[in-house]
């Protein structure tokens, strides 16, 4: 498991799309529905740090954008944005939960068009989300 600070540091790194070892500055596409694709990326600052952005859309029109950091053995979910999906936050709040998240403790986030999942220390990765 990684810490929230390390996840933030990885998210903040500049990244570029990569295809067949070539860096790509722009990518335009029209996805079919439903859709699932991984876009691979590399850190501009440290090419040994690789990432992928996974975009999925279900037949129920639930769309997810997930950013992962990968190494040789694992893939760490860093952040995920869900549209039209369901999520319930943990009931118990520890000392690492930011104050802006506390009003959503134990809450279902169904009443919002979307929510963003974050890593919070002391919880399973991406277990907390806010609208």
pLDDT digits (tens, 9 = 90+) for 45-102: 888 888 988 888 887 777 888 888 876 567 888 999 998 888 999 999 999 999 999 9
> Residues 26-49, buried b or exposed e (16+ Cβ, 10 A)?
eeeeeeeeeeeeebebbbeeeeeb
Q: Identify the pLDDT of residue 27.
A: 81
Give 64-71's long-range contacts (Cβ < 8 A, gap of 24+): 67/11, 69/10
113: CB partners within 8 A, 6+ apart: 83, 84
pLDDT digits (tens, 9 = 90+) for 92-118: 999 999 999 999 999 999 888 899 999
Domain ranges of the chain: 4-130
């Amino acid at each position: 498991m990684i810490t929230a600070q390390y996840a933030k540091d990885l998210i903040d790194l500049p990244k570029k799309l990569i295809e067949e070892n070539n860096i790509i500055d722009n990518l335009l596409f029209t996805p079919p529905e439903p859709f699932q694709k991984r876009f691979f990326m590399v850190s501009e600052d440290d090419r040994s740090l690789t990432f992928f952005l996974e975009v999925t859309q279900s037949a129920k029109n639930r769309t997810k954008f997930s950013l992962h950091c990968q190494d040789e053995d694992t893939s760490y979910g860093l952040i995920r944005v869900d549209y039209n999906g369901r999520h319930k936050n943990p009931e118990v709040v520890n000392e690492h939960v930011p104050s802006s998240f506390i009003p959503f403790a134990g809450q279902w986030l169904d009443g919002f068009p979307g929510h963003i999942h974050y890593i919070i220390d002391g919880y399973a990765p991406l277990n907390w989300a806010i609208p």
